[in-house]
Amino acid sequence: MNEQNAGGARQRSVEIVVPVYNEAHVLAGSVGRLHAYLESSFPFPFTITVADNASTDATWQAALDLTQRLPHVHAVHLDAKGRGRALKHVWSRSEADVVAYMDVDLSTGLEGFFPLVAPLLSGHSDVAIGSRLHRQSAVQRGAKREFISRSYNLLLKAGLAARFSDAQCGFKAVRTEVFRALAPHIEDTAWFFDTELLVLAQRNKLRIHEVPVDWIDDPDSRVDIVRTALDDLKGMRRMFKQTITGRARIAAVPHRTRTTTPVLPAGAPATSAEHLEYAS
């Protein structure tokens, strides 16, 4: 995956995972759009990996068809459900310098992807998240989902002292070596995976970068909001207990110093979007 530029230096690379479950009807269109966008405007080597976690429709065949048609697309199949399980499986095995993911509905505007990963590629940050709650974000979603999202993030601030603004936006990235250090300590295999990753990163003094995003709610979303909320509350309780029992810190999480000379290639888009960083 890692390639060399004209001067012989190794270029840093990114692997983007698209976790899917029964998404045969939208997979080709979404991945095709993502592939075209990255091929035309992303200045680093990239791979898109479709992670099919136990779909029961034609999703796996659609994923295989994409690998034959698009040069930077790969696919993996898991026999058990869970977004967190799919991400952990692919990210732990990645050869890229930075691993990322986005939801298959592409609710988050793709123009936010380069500002998301650039600070990780340059060594400026360790984890990056898109935030729908940033004052510069443009979000279109119903009042119910808006209330649930804001309430959840307030609970994280009160219960786990979270200093990141949006735990569940499906638009995140992390330096691969950092993820490998955190992965054995992430227990959740479903939707709480994102929150657990971020809380562990904060507790271990890693630099969390936030970018505002444009986000449009997917009317076809089949997420069970009630069940997900209950699972999230259970996850928060577990992590709160870890704090009390002293299991909050991890030894030997790799930190990388910011490069004195940016690694961004000539012609790369500017990263002018305002961002925030949190490091305990």
Sequence-ordered list of residues with C-beta below 8 angstroms from that of 261, at least 6 positions apart, any chain: none
CA distance 60 to 49: 12
Q: What angle do CA 205, 163, 148 make, to 5 degrees?
A: 140
Work out the pLDDT band at 279, boundaries 50, 70, 90: very low
Residue ranges of domains in the chain, CATH in brackets: 14-250 (3.90.550.10)
pLDDT tens, position by position, 101-121: 999 999 999 999 999 999 999
Secondary element (H or E) of residue 211: strand 208-212
Work out the pLDDT band at 263, boundaries 50, 70, 90: very low
Active site residue 52: no
Question: Of 52, 97, 188, 194, which one is the catalytic site residue?
Answer: 194
For helices 83-93 and 193-203, give the axis angle rounded to 10 degrees: 50
Identify the residue with better confidence: 24 or 132: 24
Whether residue 172 has pLDDT greater than 90: yes
Please, what is the average pLDDT of the chain? 84
Residue of 218, 180, 221 lying closest to 87 (CA atoms): 180
Q: What is the mean pLDDT of residues 231-250?
A: 74
Identify the residue with better confidence: 126 or 5: 126
Identify the residue with better confidence: 147 or 271: 147
CA distance 225 to 231: 10
pLDDT tens, position by position, 65-104: 999 999 999 999 999 999 999 999 999 999 999 999 999 9
Pairing of strands 171-175, 98-102: antiparallel
CA distance 181 to 49: 21
CA distance 148 to 161: 18
Q: How far is CA 75 from CA 17, 44, 53, 113, in A?
A: 9, 20, 11, 21
| CA-only gyration radius of the chain, Å | 18
What are residue 59's phi and psi, to 5 degrees? Answer: -60, -45
Q: Exposure pattern of 68-82 as b/e (b: 16+ CB <10 Å)?
A: eebebbbbbebeebb
Q: What is the mean pLDDT of residues 159-172?
A: 88
